[in-house]
Structure 1
Amino acid sequence: MPLFYSIHGGGMVMGSPVGDRTANASLASQHGFCCVSVYYRLAPEHAQPSQLQDCYSGLKWCIEHAEELAIDTQKVAIAGSSAGAGLAAGLALYIRDQQEFDIHHLRLRNPMLDDRTSIVPEHPYAGEFVWTKRSNYFGWKSVLGHEPGHEEVSEYYVPARTKSLAGLPPTYISIGSIDLFIDEVLLFTKQLVFDGVLVELHVYPGYHHLSPMFPDAHFSIEGNKSSEWALLKALNLL
């Protein structure tokens, strides 16, 4: 089976894999995936590298037990939303550099990629609803263990800080136009393109950070279709 490894959201400070069960069950039943969600330690009780270590060790365990789990190690996808997407991007960079195994697709939904977003001037339109600049500041300070914006921060913790995204697998990104993360996502996508990574970007007009939680909305439906197609395409399952 192809492996779908999901990392839950929650601003680094809350949430659990329970929220991923419905989507994972759908992938398993419709397309024969082995779906795994990781319980990573939460901030502020646990700062980085706790989250990176948990996410990496969970995936490494799956790869090492591929025969027992009937996993095809040539068809591995990592996915996340919000904070989980930020952790997924950092994990992908770490996997690239460790070179112990490969991943073949990266799905980032509303990704939390850059701690500096929490300290720059207010955006005139984005970040007003649900996940605000204040929330973002608390999440980043909690997971980093210090004030956001420090110069010396690992790219594995803050993916937007990386000097190169070359070597990452085909990547799918979606974001709402009034999501707080819109600017950092656009810059990250630009860097992916510059570094030669195949990337598919969707910006949904008027969607805020939790809009995907309304599954019957037009762009939620479109987002589910496009992200599923990108996943199956990247893993040669079409």
Structure 2
Amino acid sequence: MSPARPDLDPELRALLADLPLSSELSAELLAQVRQIPSPPIETVIGGRAIERYDIAAPGPDGARIPLTVFSPQRAGRSGAAPCVYWLHGGGMVMGDRFSQIDIPLEWLDRFGAVVVTADYRLAPEATGTTLVDDGYHGLLWTARHAAELGIAPARIIVAGISAGGGLAAGVTLMARDRGTPAIAAQMLICPMLDHRNATTSSRQYSGEPGVWTREMNEFGWRSVLGERRDADVPGYVSPAVAADLSGLPATYIDAGTAEVFRDEDVAYATRIWAAGGQAELHVWAGGCHGFDALFPHARVSAAARRTRNNWLARVLHGLPADERGAVVTGAAS
């Protein structure tokens, strides 16, 4: 008998009925999914006053990390801009740097932010700390080139969704421990934080088709970790097991009530508070995993995006005046 679990938001339930959902993920299915082409990035950025260029940053092991920089056109900018460093979702096994890119591009539109998005290597081809190392070195490149990118170094926000949210948390821990670069805030959207896959919400969303199920989560983590036992899993890879969450920047975490990651995300915010840090947590009633990325125009999705935008506006306005650089425009309402 399936455990009781929160209902989906009725609007989301109707929208999900049109998706080909599964309960499990396998190597064979992953290979098929990876062959599905992503929508052309030009369809996302079309009509925006955006400058774009691609680079390959040096990685920790000689690899090159593809990055794309999206900037407001310089003719319309005044002073140094905030930066959003974006890590995409995909269970650590799929996706690319343009996945869910509409989310940070909204911050380019509203706040004049420079968006840098990274193509970290994927599991199972890459394992262990490789993914988070790629994310960290892409961030290092961004910070070291802040002046030429027109970025205010004190206004770098690390953000990500799902697997990218977990990697954003790991990158932020890594930057804290290594003392560089400075991160003003981290935004973790339905983050994938805990390889143990043992929470109540994990058990609730098991055995039935969904956007991301306990079985899919197990596949993703096994792809990254292989046969590593709990004691051998670094907190940078699985931030829920990090021993110390003190000294982190302002943090935003959100999730849905109807998803696998609900409880580990709530626990992560709770541990930040226990360590004396500041975290804002939102758990959206009836939200499935990634609901606002999948269905941005649903009512609950619009509310989630608006709330994130308001938090980011407060963070940017809360920086000392001499660190703000460009004027924040188009603040969310």
Shared fold per TM-score greater than 0.5: yes
Counterpart amino acid of 1:217? Answer: A
Aligned to 2:64: none
Aligned pairs for 1:190-205 within 5 A: 190-205=270-285
> How many angstroms apart in 1 are the aligned matches of 2:233 and 2:274?
22
Closer, same or farther: CA 21–124 of 1 in aligned 2, 3 Å:
closer
Aligned to 2:103: 23
Aligned to 1:157: 237
Deviation at 1:21?
Answer: 2.9
> How many angstroms apart in 1 are the aligned matches of 2:96 and 2:186?
20
Deviation at 1:211?
Answer: 1.4
SS in 2 for 1:72: strand
Question: Is 1:217 paired with 2:298?
Answer: yes
Aligned to 1:69: 149
SS in 1 for 2:160: strand
Aligned to 1:36: 116
> How many angstroms apart in 1 are the aligned matches of 2:166 and 2:118?
14
Q: Which has the larger radius of gyration?
A: 2
Query: Could you report, residue by residue, the CA deviation over 1:78-119 in whole angstroms, capped at 9, with x for unpaired residues?
Result: 1111000000001100000000221011111111000001x5
Gaps of 5+ in 2: 1-80, 318-327
**Contact 1:105–1:235 (8 Å) recurs in 2:** no
**Contact 1:6–1:20 (8 Å) recurs in 2:** no
> How many angstroms apart in 2 are the aligned matches of 1:13 and 1:162?
22
Pairs aligned (count): 236
Q: 2:159 aligns with which of 75, 79, 82?
A: 79
**Contact 2:89–2:160 (8 Å) recurs in 1:** yes
Deviation at 1:125?
Answer: 3.4
Counterpart amino acid of 1:233? Answer: R
Q: 2:126 aligns with which of 42, 46, 56?
A: 46
Question: Is 1:229 paired with 2:300?
Answer: no
**Contact 1:78–1:106 (8 Å) recurs in 2:** yes
Aligned to 1:125: 204
Q: Which has the higher strand share?
A: 2
SS in 2 for 1:61: helix
> How many angstroms apart in 1 are the aligned matches of 2:109 and 2:296?
19
Counterpart amino acid of 1:47? Answer: T
> How many angstroms apart in 1 are the aligned matches of 2:175 and 2:230?
24
SS in 2 for 1:41: coil
Question: Is 1:175 paired with 2:258?
Answer: no
Aligned to 1:98: 178
Gaps of 5+ in 1: none
Question: Is 1:11 paired with 2:91?
Answer: yes
**Contact 1:20–1:37 (8 Å) recurs in 2:** no
Aligned to 1:208: 288
> How many angstroms apart in 1 are the aligned matches of 2:223 and 2:144?
32
SS in 2 for 1:12: coil
Closer, same or farther: CA 57–121 of 1 in aligned 2, 3 Å:
same
Deviation at 1:232?
Answer: 2.1
**Contact 1:90–1:158 (8 Å) recurs in 2:** yes
Counterpart amino acid of 2:311? Answer: A
Normalization by structure 2: what TM-score? 0.67
> How many angstroms apart in 1 are the aligned matches of 2:184 and 2:200?
37
Query: Could you report, residue by residue, the CA deviation over 1:195-227 in whole angstroms, capped at 9, with x for unpaired residues?
Result: 111111111111111311111212211111111
Deviation at 1:17?
Answer: 1.6
Deviation at 1:48?
Answer: 2.2
Deviation at 1:152?
Answer: 2.2
Across the aligned residues of Structure 1 and Structure 2, the Cα RMSD in angstroms comes to 1.7
Closer, same or farther: CA 86–122 of 1 in aligned 2, 3 Å:
closer
Aligned to 2:77: none
Counterpart amino acid of 1:143? Answer: V
